[in-house]
Amino acid sequence: MVLRVLIVDDEALARARLKTLLADCTAPGALVVAEAANAADAMRCLTHQAVDAVLADIHMPGADGLTLAQQLRALPNPPALVFVTAYAEHAVQAFELEALDYLTKPVRLERLQATLQKIERTAHASKGLEPDLTDNVLVIQERGRTERVPLSTVLYLKAELKYITVRTAAHSYILEGSLSDLETRHASHFIRIHRNTLVARRAVRSLQHHCDAQEGDGWAVRLDGVEEALFVSRRQLAAVRALLQA
């Protein structure tokens, strides 16, 4: 599947950078079919160009990205909306306006790829297509045996050296692989809270002040099913807060 994308940003360099990142994305790929410098231009583009997703900045001259979100909601079949902005403080409001995702600049390729996969899954669900069941498990190979661990039981994934700890309420497993690859493939299940940690979206129950021996003072999340607090980096703090308030 190749997603048709409209980029909305008043800065030409920002549009060019995002277009370059989208060109590097695969499975699904993305094709930029139109660009706009403001919300009014974006709505004009949508009158003659079908798109699957709108990637929009928030702070723009005239009608801003939040206004654009409200206008998109009024369409009979609105495209998926993703905010791409340097400002994290609008995350809660963005999700209230039914934005599918919220990316902060500078956007990482793997994070953008995860967003495109989320858009693709949403499109498939709206068409009544069945998901690939192999995407609902992690295959763990250890001590001479292979075990299929359902994603619905996984509470967090934590990268340690070249291995990943897969934690459920009952067990811990060791998995070889890339945390970024897991984030990309299973973005609907997990949210990144730190450069080395993904947690299950459904399991996040609270965010609290926390002092970590290595990270210092900051914030940590508590999950259903585990006692330990997991440190949240400042970069990911807004996304975690948005998840809790959505």
Using alpha carbons, select from 122, 123, 119, 60 the residue that is nearest to residue 87: 60
In which band, very low, low, confident or very high, does the pLDDT at 130 lie, cut at 50, 70 and 90?
Answer: very low
User: pLDDT per residue over 52-94, tens digit each?
Assistant: 999 999 989 888 888 999 999 888 889 999 999 887 776 666 6
**Integer angstrom CA distances of residue 75 from 50, 52, 68:** 12, 13, 11
In which band, very low, low, confident or very high, does the pLDDT at 232 lie, cut at 50, 70 and 90?
Answer: very high
Query: Which CATH number, 3.30.750.24, 2.60.40.10, 3.40.50.150, 3.40.50.2300, labels domain 2-126?
Result: 3.40.50.2300
**Integer angstrom CA distances of residue 86 from 27, 112, 182, 212:** 26, 15, 25, 27
The whole-angstrom separation of Cα 116 and Cα 25 is 8
In which band, very low, low, confident or very high, does the pLDDT at 132 lie, cut at 50, 70 and 90?
Answer: very low
Domain boundaries, the chain: 2-126, 133-245
Domain 133-245 is found in CATH 2.40.50.1020: yes
pLDDT given at position 205: 94
Provide the mean pLDDT of the chain. Answer: 87
The whole-angstrom separation of Cα 175 and Cα 135 is 16
Q: Are 180 and 198 in contact (CB under 8 A)?
A: no
Q: Report the pLDDT averaged over residues 193-207.
A: 94
Q: What percent of the chain has pLDDT over 90?
A: 48
Using alpha carbons, select from 86, 84, 87, 49 the residue that is nearest to residue 69: 84
pTM: 0.55
User: pLDDT per residue over 43-60, tens digit each?
Assistant: 999 998 899 999 999 989
The whole-angstrom separation of Cα 102 and Cα 96 is 12
